[in-house]
């Protein structure tokens, strides 16, 4: 069987192992957390397990599971994974087992979006909470300012969610402080107008995130991996700037409680900022790598970067330049789960490349449909189409019709594992 582990790679940096805390990744290709709209009743579904297993089987080094809500007020859509419930654990265990079976590591995101609430189960105006009652422009949400009691409850929620992820057998948790979500709202003086110990000075605004990291660390111990996702630049007029986020990273790194940092750009708060969450084809490939390089100069732990990296050559170059230690190729793996095994075995020209059209991945998310890809419809439909296997006896087949479907059917068949 051909695997990414058995053949010398033309991308030596990309296919070198990376140690993150107590975990060693077999290579530096990451599928970063992405909401697949596959949760059923707040829990992991069979389809989600099959979807992620396909990426692990294709050779990814690390899969980060999408946002899991740490508190009932963190249900940011009607289809969020609910990590505030103990009955979430068996589903996460199935994910961990399926991903580990293929030699891939798995972390899970723990999440509170604060005022970034998109919809509710019954269409009623969602009740949102935030550091202060500053309205959200994009989803037209007016949040309630959190009481001190609620802050304590939510901090405890992050810790309890982390324990569930650990109990499920995963390798780590990732605290989502990126994209203008709750920890970033506390840090942002435009959104946090509190006058108590959580508002005002930089130290006060960082307090919430510090308490979250400390509570998680205390709950799960020193060995379990804890990472942080952060937008170095939120790319919108009221968003966090690089000065603030890099200052925060410097302080948090000095605390010595984080095992890695995952760098992105953008914010959910405005259309301008949200364009960078899933950067479309108008953005240059790997344009966020210089932001990761800024973070890497500051922190002692490994840095992962995401931002329209769709080919192994680009990922290799980011690593060669020392801009990051690992590269998220998230949509690249949605379009071609076999990208790592193809890149590792000299078949890079066979990779089906993500074009950044944003139609069936984030487009489906906003329409409330499960994830897929316009170039690879099997994505997100693994249970329906199953794994491709070689036939035992080859036969000639005549394809009638020369439209896009016919041409695709007549073209060289996709690579299979095995």
Contact residues for ligand SF4 (CB under 6 A)? 331, 334-335, 354-361, 373-375
Query: Between residues 31 and 166, which has the closer beta carbon with respect to ligand SF4?
Result: 31
- Annotated catalytic residue within 84, 92, 158, 181: 181
Q: Using the rule CB under 6 A, is 82 a contact of ligand FMN?
A: no
Residue 110 makes contact with ligand FMN by CB under 6 A: no
Cβ atoms of 160 and 168 closer than 8 Å: no
Q: Are 202 and 241 in contact (CB under 8 A)?
A: no
Candidate list 38, 117, 329, 339; residue touching ligand FMN; CB under 6 A: 329
Listed ranges 113-121, 159-167, 293-301, 327-335: which one lies at the site for ligand FMN (CB under 6 A)? 327-335
| Residue listed under structure tokens 């269409």 | 123
Between 150 and 357, name the residue whose CB sits nearer to ligand FMN.
Answer: 357
Span of 3-11, 12-20, 33-41, 398-406 interacting with ligand FMN by CB under 6 A: 33-41
Stretch that binds ligand FMN, among 146-154, 187-195, 305-313, 402-410 (CB under 6 A): 305-313
362 binds ligand FMN (CB under 6 A): yes
Name the binder of 35 from ligand SF4, ligand FMN, none, CB < 5-8 A by kind. ligand FMN
Q: Which bin fits 294, alpha (ψ -120 to 50), beta or left (φ > 0)?
A: alpha
C-alpha closest to that of 50 among 312, 390, 370: 370
353 Ramachandran zone, left/alpha/beta (phi>0; psi -120 to 50): beta
Determine, following the binding rule CB under 6 A, whether residue 304 of this chain makes contact with ligand FMN: no
Composition of the chain by helix, strand, coil, percent to 5: 35, 15, 50
Q: Which is nearer to ligand SF4, 50 or 134 (CB)?
A: 50
For residues 114, 115, 119, 124, the Cα torsion angle rounded to the nearest 10 degrees is 110
Q: Binding to ligand FMN by residue 112, rule CB under 6 A?
A: no
# binding residues, ligand FMN (CB under 6 A): 27
Q: Residue 199 Cβ, how far from ligand FMN at the closest point, in Å? A: 25
Of residues 34 and 138, the one with the C-beta less far from ligand FMN:
34
Q: What is the DSSP letter of 80?
A: -
106, 264, 304, 417: residue in contact with ligand FMN (rule CB under 6 A): 264
Does 328 participate in binding ligand FMN (rule CB under 6 A)?
A: yes
379 binds ligand FMN (CB under 6 A): no
Beta-carbon neighbour count of residue 377 at 10 Å? 12
Binding part of the chain for ligand FMN, among 5-13, 100-108, 248-256, 323-331 by CB under 6 A, reads 323-331
Contact predicate 331/60, CB 8 Å? no
**Binding mask of the shown chain, residues 169 to 208, with x at each position contacting ligand FMN by CB under 6 A:** -------x-x------------------------------
Alpha helices in 221-258 (DSSP H): 242-255
Nearer to ligand SF4, 236 or 335 (CB): 335
Other Cβ atoms within 10 Å of 314 Cβ, number: 18
Please state, in angstroms and rounded to a whole number, the distance separating the CA atoms of residues 355 and 94. 31
307's contact among ligand SF4, ligand FMN, none, with CB below 5 to 8 A by partner kind, is ligand FMN
Rounded distance between C-alpha atoms, residue 286 and residue 370, angstroms: 26
Q: Is 351 in the site for ligand FMN (CB under 6 A)?
A: no
> What DSSP letter does each residue of 259-290 carry, written as one string?
SEEEEEE-BSSSHHHHTTTS--TTSPTTTTHH
Secondary structure (DSSP) of 182-215 = HHHHHH-TTT----STTSSSHHHHHHHHHHHHHH
Q: Rule CB under 6 A: choose which of 32, 245, 274, 311 binds ligand FMN.
A: 32
The DSSP letter of residue 44 is: -
The answer to whether residue 158 is catalytic is no
If you search the block for the tokens 């990779």, which residue do you land on?
351
Q: Which stretch binds ligand FMN (CB under 6 A): 15-23, 198-206, 300-308, 374-382?
A: 300-308
CB of 332 to ligand FMN, least distance (A): 6
Q: Report the distance separating Cα 319 and Cα 29, nearest Å.
A: 11
Q: What is the dihedral of CA 286, 287, 290, 291, to 10 degrees?
A: -110
> Which residue in the set 278, 304, 305, 351 belongs to the binding site for ligand FMN (CB under 6 A)?
278
In the complex, which residues of this chain contact ligand FMN (CB under 6 A)?
A: 32-35, 66-67, 109, 176, 178, 229, 264, 277-279, 306-309, 328-332, 361-362, 365, 371
Q: Which residues are catalytic?
A: 181
């Amino acid at each position: 069987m051909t695997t990414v582990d058995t053949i010398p790679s033309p991308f030596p940096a990309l296919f070198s192992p990376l140690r993150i805390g107590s975990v060693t990744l077999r290579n530096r290709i990451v599928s970063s957390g992405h909401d697949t709209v596959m949760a059923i009743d707040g829990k992991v579904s069979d389809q989600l397990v099959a979807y992620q297993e396909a990426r692990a089987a294709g050779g990814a080094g690390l899969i980060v599971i999408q946002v899991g809500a740490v508190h009932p007020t963190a249900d940011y859509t009607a289809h969020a994974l609910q990590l505030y419930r103990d009955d979430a654990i068996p589903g996460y265990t199935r994910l961990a087992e399926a991903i580990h079976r293929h030699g891939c590591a798995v972390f899970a995101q723990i999440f509170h979006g604060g005022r970034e609430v998109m919809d509710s189960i019954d269409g009623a105006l969602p009740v949102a909470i935030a550091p202060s009652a500053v309205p959200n422009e994009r989803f037209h949400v007016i949040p309630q300012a959190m009481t001190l009691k609620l802050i304590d409850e939510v901090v405890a929620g992050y810790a309890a969610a982390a324990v569930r992820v650990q109990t499920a057998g995963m390798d780590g948790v990732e605290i989502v402080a990126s994209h203008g979500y709750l920890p970033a709202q506390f840090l942002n003086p435009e959104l946090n107008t509190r006058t108590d110990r959580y508002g005002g000075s930089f130290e006060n605004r960082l307090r919430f995130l510090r308490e979250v990291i400390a509570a998680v660390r205390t709950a799960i111990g020193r060995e379990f991996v804890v990472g942080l996702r952060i937008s170095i630049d939120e790319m919108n007029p009221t968003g966090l700037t690089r000065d603030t986020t890099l200052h925060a990273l410097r302080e948090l790194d000095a605390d010595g409680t984080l095992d890695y940092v995952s760098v992105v750009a953008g914010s959910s708060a405005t259309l301008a900022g949200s364009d960078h969450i899933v950067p479309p084809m108008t953005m240059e490939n790997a344009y966020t790598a210089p932001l990761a390089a800024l973070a890497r100069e500051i922190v002692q732990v490994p840095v992962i970067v995401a931002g329209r990296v769709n080919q192994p050559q680009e990922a290799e170059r980011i690593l060669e330049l020392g801009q990051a230690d690992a590269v998220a190729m998230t949509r690249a793996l949605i379009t071609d789960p076999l990208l790592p095994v193809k890149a590792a075995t000299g078949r890079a020209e066979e990779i089906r490349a993500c074009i950044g059209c944003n139609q069936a991945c984030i487009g489906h998310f906003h329409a409330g449909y499960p994830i897929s890809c316009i170039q690879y419809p099997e994505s997100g439909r693994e249970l329906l189409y199953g794994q491709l296997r070689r036939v035992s006896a080859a036969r000639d087949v005549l394809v009638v019709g020369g439209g896009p479907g016919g041409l695709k059917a007549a073209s060289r068949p996709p690579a299979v594992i095995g």
